[in-house]
Chain A
Amino acid sequence: MNQNFQINSKQIDKIQKITEEEKNFRIKNLEIFKEEGFPSKKLEDWKFSDFKRIVDNNFDELDTKTVVSHFDKVDLLKDFEHNYIFLVNGNLHSSNFDFEDKNKIKINSYDKSINYEINKNPLVCLNQAFAENGYSLEIDKNYKFNKVLVIYNIFTNDIKNKILNNKNKIRVNENSELHTIEYTINESKFKFINNVLENIILEKNSKLKNLNIQRKKNEGIFHKYLKNNLSLNSNYTNLIFSSGTKFNKLDIECNLIDQNINCNILSALFLGNNEHNEIKTCINHLAPNCKSYQQVKNVLNSNGKGIFQGKIYVKDLAQKTDAYQLGKALLLDDNAEFNSKPELEIYADDVKCSHGSSSGSIDEDSIYYMMSRGLSREQSKKLLIKGFLSDIVEHIKSPSIKKFVENKLEEQISEN
């Protein structure tokens, strides 16, 4: 444990209006965290992302006290019409659903309901001990959003040496559809850690498409544990374009609890100097006839480090599962690193499961071919990189959102 990390159990006492049961649950989680400390590479799940080292190298002191921040409004995206919510340092600040029937949407600053389940991830325990902010969004039955919902995830300039623990929840009820874009804007000049626990519940026949992207490069250190419970005929897609942070680990657990569920995790990242990005998944096929599709593509420059640990679990009764997983990297520098660890655990006998992983450098013959048509080496390289990531971007159906993502990727590629 970092000596200068101040954990104060009394902080739990200050959390208002909680039951004895919740308090005990928080204390229990805190005790686990105290015993484990920040996860280091000794833990299998953290073997490519030594979080303890990240903490030791970046912080002389750290605390979990919540802050009340000053926040100047940020400019809304002009690329497409959208609903929005503002999160400031993880806390719900305001929301706007002018394009929607507001009666169908419930938005709150925090979801009080708790699943008293202990997670073995120490950062989740830390979150369970202290989190008292975040947002909770619920969409009524039979409602399809007209416009995308942008979640502006803003970090202000006055957070220094903080661990912000936030807890979010999205519930999409029967026959409803929601499309979200989580847009991170980090204005902090100081280093901080954002540790999020997010719970997504998709009810029967519902659909959620989420897209993650950053406004620009930043020094933030992010960890998110995403727990998704997916019901009959539901459709979940997570598109991850979160390049440009110092450290980012996304740990996704998907529970496919009923039949005919479609679950897609897709990522296109361009990681530059000293950027570290891990996507860890665990797709639990718990019922028959479900489909899961995971594809992670990383372009890695200088010291960029990309990790994809993908697990597919197929329960004995989950027959006719169709699960696919692919990790692919394009390495632009000898010091760049891509680690891929596919894991399949299958107990059913009539399933289709496949996985693959590959990494390689830029193909010089392709560069030569393009240059022989008058393109410069840089132009050719850029086209190859964009081409490599393009099949993920192709999953975005809206032309204006697609253009927006393409521009962001272009910025990433040009900056490096």
Chain B
Amino acid sequence: MLEIKDLKASINKKAILKGLNLTIKPGELHAIMGPNGSGKSTLANILSGKEGYEISGELNFNGESIKEISVEKRAQKGIFLAFQYPLEIPGVNTNNFLKTSLNSVRKARGEKELDTLSFLKLIKKTSYELGIDEGILSRQLNVGFSGGEKKKNEILQMKILNPKLSILDETDSGLDIDAIKIVAKGVNTLRNDKKSFLIITHYQRLLDYIKPDFVHVLSHGKIVKTGCSELAQELEKTGYKKIN
């Protein structure tokens, strides 16, 4: 699904990723942990296609290099990033935005675009499944949303767009336990042997609800340790110092 080889990235001449290797196979869920400033969000941004980084190394998605592919094309190919800080877009209705978004992805996949009625049915069903209040859908995109509402909205978008690879950038940060369960539910209900996940988190807590196949520790722009879910528990006790 995803193959990263010797990925180096810098922004304004400052090196952030310094030779990162990571392979995620279909059906796998990988968690990435690591201290602040280790390059976790940069990795997420680069995978989604954000501009402004100088990049070298290989970045393959389903056997195809995506290094030169634009943000929206990557989204259409099935890469989804749940933002650490979802943006507020004034004047843009959440429902309309989601519909436009879903239909551009469906169109790219060669699927029929959904009309308003079928879309509303889908969104109603999905928000009900996740336990998300439908009220947020008629509001302006993320405007005046609480931190929790913003993150829930990201998970709702993830569910609706049904991506092949979902990247969650600290989606659990700042969330109460009920909201974390919604995030976990979003991931767990999408999870199957064809879909992959990359979950960036600071806390073991989320991994109590989402069982990762692999846990990686990212430090100073490189993966310094890889293990199974026990590694996360160990980190919770000892911190990152020992690993460095």
Contact = CB atoms under 8 A, between A and B. Distances in A.
Given A374-B101, A374-B104, A366 B72 contact: no
Interface stretch (A97-105, A134-142, A185-193, A380-388): A380-388
A383 B104 contact: no
B71 A371 contact: yes
B97 A374 contact: no
Interface in B61-99: 70-72, 74-76, 80-81, 83, 86-87, 89-92, 97
A370 B97 CA distance: 9
A376 B89 contact: no
B91 A370 contact: no
Interface residues of B, number: 29
A398 interface: no
A376 to B, nearest CB: 5
A376 B107 CA distance: 12
Given A368-B71, A369-B83, A374 B89 contact: no
Contacts of A387: 89-92, 140
B228 to A, nearest CB: 30
A379 B51 CA distance: 18
A150 B100 CA distance: 34
A61 B140 CA distance: 52
A245 B90 CA distance: 28
Given A371-B70, A372-B75, A384 B89 contact: yes
Contacts of A388: 90-91
A365 B87 contact: yes
Dominant SS at the A interface?
helix
Chain A residues touching B, range: 20 to 34
A383 B100 contact: yes
A371 B72 contact: yes
B91 A386 contact: yes
A372 B97 CA distance: 12
A247 B209 CA distance: 62
B123 interface: no
A373 interface: yes
Contacts of B87: 363, 365-366, 369
B92 A384 contact: yes
Contacts of A391: 90-91
A391 B50 CA distance: 30
Contacts of B161: 373-374
A383 B90 CA distance: 10
A389 interface: yes
Nearest to A392: B91
Contact of B92 (A368, A376, A383): A383
B74 to A, nearest CB: 8
Contact of A373 (B49, B75, B90, B91): B75
Contact of B104 (A366, A368, A375): A375
Given A366-B89, A389-B91, A372 B100 contact: no
Contacts of A389: 91
A41 to B, nearest CB: 34
Given A368-B50, A383-B97, A383-B100, A375 B91 contact: no
Nearest to B86: A369
Contacts of A146: none
A9 interface: no
Contacts of A112: none
Contacts of B101: 370, 373-375
Contact of B72 (A363, A365, A375, A384): A375
Most B CB within 10 A of own CB, among A366, A376, A387: A387
Given A371-B71, A391-B90, 12 more contacts: A366-B89, A368-B50, A371-B70, A372-B75, A372-B83, A373-B101, A374-B76, A375-B72, A384-B89, A387-B92, A390-B90, A391-B91
Interface of A: 363, 365-366, 368-377, 379, 383-384, 386-391
Interface of B: 48-51, 70-72, 74-76, 80-81, 83, 86-87, 89-92, 97, 100-102, 104-105, 108, 140, 157, 161
23 contacts: A366-B87, A369-B83, A369-B86, A369-B87, A371-B72, A372-B48, A372-B72, A372-B74, A372-B75, A373-B75, A373-B105, A373-B161, A374-B75, A374-B161, A375-B100, A384-B89, A386-B92, A387-B89, A387-B90, A387-B92, A388-B90, A389-B91, A390-B92
Closest 8 CB pairs of A and B: A387-B91, A390-B91, A373-B101, A371-B71, A374-B75, A374-B105, A374-B104, A369-B87
